[in-house]
């Protein structure tokens, strides 16, 4: 358990969040658990790591290896154990995360590593059961932490679609951010294990963690440059302060004997990882497929609803906004619109985060009150 310790000398603290639940999102928890493994190899004590994960993968009825989680096709179990997950299940909430950050008993001498992995939409990162945290809420919290002297510097890599939107409102000093995607595109999964067609990792996170292991002398900037060169499915971004500081300031450094895992391109998976569908009980496989059909319908319903909102606000100009992707600081309009939108939508499929883009684009021309009225009345 992460203890609230105030130290007289500089200390490193780490926060790892896997923000999703449901079998399809296996990769988010797998990435988070592997990041935990890296930190432990780098000398972190458990009382300096706090782990957040819904923890519904390891004994999921669809898991062909109960009790185990894999990150690569090498059959190496990376599950840290339930006792290493500080916040799990229904405790992975926006309220708990923001409250935790605000009440960390760290000092202005301490460095914080904050790794988040889940879906995202413009200015939003997702949490279990269709819940969200906005970039605005998180950055306000960082700003409060900085003013209260809760960190010396903070490194925040985000694995989420549209995560580059954080740049629009980040003015807090001493924060470095590295995102899996820019503000207008998605990030991608990687290492298809065909565990009923789920991914074992995300492309950005996979390359970032392999670089962290194989090149522990990286600065944040050199880490980013190497990852950016390898990622093919998205456009990572880097911004903020301390970009030329060594990553070891945040994540420590492993002994040489622990460096470098086998290149994932060379791994040969076993039968269960390739054809997990053969090993899942039929009733569970069918239930999962039914859930996927339902979530596809949720996405279609959301698209219809959002289109109707845009049409009510923009009239004949609606097609322009439906096809428009915007960036820039639109917080004054977009933040209250996000609240209204997610209050109205009872379900949202985070795989379709791009559906939020037309609503944000309305903020380039219309007042938030006009958009909110449309949300509440269509």
CB 87 within 8 Å of CB 50 = yes
Closest CA to 118 of 180, 70, 69: 180
Six-digit token pair at 137?
């809420």
Q: Give the pTM.
A: 0.93
Confidence of residue 195 (pLDDT cuts 50, 70, 90): low
Six-digit token pair at 193?
């294990």
Give the 3-state DSSP-derived string for 210-227, with helices as H, strands as E and coil as C.
HHHHHCCCCEHHHHHHHH
Cα angle 251-191-34, degrees, rounded to a multiple of 5: 25
Q: Which domains does the chain have, with CATH numbers?
A: 12-276 (3.40.50.1460), 282-376 (no CATH)
d(CA 374, CA 195): 41
Q: What is the pLDDT of residue 270?
A: 62
Confidence of residue 85 (pLDDT cuts 50, 70, 90): very high
Q: In whole numbers, what is the pLDDT of the chain averaged over residues?
A: 91
Confidence of residue 7 (pLDDT cuts 50, 70, 90): very low
Residue 104: pLDDT over 90: yes
Q: What is the pLDDT of residue 264?
A: 55
Longest Cα–Cα distance of the chain, Å, equals: 64
Residue 45: pLDDT over 80: yes
Six-digit token pair at 238?
């880097």
For residues 241-264, average pLDDT: 79
Residue 317: pLDDT over 80: yes
Cα angle 195-200-205, degrees, rounded to a multiple of 5: 165
Six-digit token pair at 71?
């990150």
CB 134 within 8 Å of CB 34 = no
Confidence of residue 196 (pLDDT cuts 50, 70, 90): low
């Amino acid at each position: 358990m992460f203890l609230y310790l105030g130290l007289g000398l500089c200390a490193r603290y780490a926060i790892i969040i896997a923000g999703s639940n449901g079998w399809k999102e296996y990769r988010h928890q797998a990435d988070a658990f592997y990041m935990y493994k890296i930190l432990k190899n780098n000398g972190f004590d458990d009382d300096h790591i706090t782990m957040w994960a819904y923890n519904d993968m390891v004994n999921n009825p669809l898991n062909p290896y109960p009790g185990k989680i894999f990150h690569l096709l090498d059959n190496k179990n990376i599950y840290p154990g339930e006792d290493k997950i500080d916040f799990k299940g229904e405790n992975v909430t926006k309220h708990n995360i923001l409250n935790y950050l605000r009440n960390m008993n760290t000092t202005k001498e301490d460095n914080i590593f904050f790794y988040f992995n889940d879906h995202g939409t413009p200015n939003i990162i997702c949490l279990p059961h269709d819940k969200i945290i906005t970039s605005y809420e998180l950055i306000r919290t960082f700003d409060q932490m900085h003013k209260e002297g809760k960190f010396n510097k903070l490194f925040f890599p985000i694995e989420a679609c549209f995560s580059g939107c954080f740049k629009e409102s980040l003015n807090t000093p001493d924060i470095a951010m590295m995102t899996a995607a820019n503000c207008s595109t998605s990030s991608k999964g990687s290492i298809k294990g065909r565990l009923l067609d789920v991914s074992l990792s995300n492309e950005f996170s996979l390359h970032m963690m392999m670089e962290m292991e194989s090149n522990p002398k990286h600065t944040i900037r050199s880490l980013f440059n190497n990852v950016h060169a390898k990622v093919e499915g998205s456009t990572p971004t880097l911004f903020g302060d301390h970009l030329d500081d060594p990553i070891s300031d945040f994540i420590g450094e492993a002994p040489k004997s622990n460096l470098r895992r086998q290149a994932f391109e060379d791994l040969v998976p076993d039968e269960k990882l390739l054809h997990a569908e053969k090993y899942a009980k039929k009733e569970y496989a069918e239930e999962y497929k039914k859930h996927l059909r339902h979530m596809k319908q949720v996405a279609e319903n959301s698209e219809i609803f959002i289109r109707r909102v845009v049409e009510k606000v923009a009239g004949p100009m609606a097609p322009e906004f439906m096809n428009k992707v915007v960036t820039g600081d639109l917080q004054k309009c977009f933040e209250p619109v996000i609240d209204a939108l997610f209050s109205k939508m009872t379900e949202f499929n985070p795989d379709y985060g791009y559906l939020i883009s037309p609503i944000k684009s309305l903020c380039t021309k219309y007042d938030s009150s006009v958009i909110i009225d449309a949300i509440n009345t269509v």
